[in-house]
Amino acid sequence: MSNFIFTETKIKGVYIIDVKTYGDSRGYFMETYKENDFITAGLDYKFVQDNQSSSRKGVLRGLHFQKKYPQAKLVRVLKGEVFDVAVDLRGESETYGKWVGVYLSDTNHRQFMIPKGFAHGFIVVSEEAEFAYKCDEIYHPEDEGGILWNDSDININWPDVGEIILSDKDKKNPSLSECGIRF
């Protein structure tokens, strides 16, 4: 019996994964990844790199992708809460330029599976958050790409967290139409 519930979103290939937790007065235990369960669900990825970040409320990271070496990502929150977003950049997809988002937190234990061909970003809604993700391709800094977080053509409904804090790099990202990326 699997400890995961895989729910495909309105965008084909993007999944919200609910994780079964086992708790008592000492705390809880949960599996965060089990290769056979993921393969059985049709999510056959070979993860090669794990990443973790820490951010404060209002930090928005994204929307990021790699151009020549696209990454599939399995993301989750270790502490706090974020609103996580995937934007479809697959050229032949009927949902190209559309987005799907989900709240991930240390209390709901949800995960988000984002396949290759997507831009990814998140905003921290709690006072601070620790964010972890597995990638099926290594990070290539020279291969970075990005799309403006508030591109009106994509029209992401970001939660209101007060001040938005962006990196200098993310402030300069082009719109989807300007970047013209299609995987």
**Residue 1: per-residue pLDDT:** 80
The reply to whether 103 belongs to the active site is no
The reply to whether 109 belongs to the active site is no
Domains of the chain: 49-179 (2.60.120.10)
Mean pLDDT of the region 151-161: 97
The DSSP string of the chain is --SEEEEE-SSTT-EEEEE-EEEETTEEEE-S--HHHHHHTT------EEEEEEEETTBEEEEEEESSS---EEEEEEESEEEEEEEE--TT-TTTT-EEEEEEETTT--EEEE-SSEEEEEEE-SSEEEEEEEESS---GGGEEE--TT-TTT-------SS-B--HHHHTPPPHHHH----
- Choosing from 96, 133, 139, 140, the catalytic residue is 133
Tens digits of per-residue pLDDT, 90-113?
Answer: 999 999 999 999 999 999 999 999
Q: Which of the four pLDDT bands, split at 50, 70 and 90, describes residue 27?
A: very high
- Choosing from 15, 45, 64, 120, the catalytic residue is 64
Tens digits of per-residue pLDDT, 37-58?
Answer: 999 999 999 999 999 999 999 9
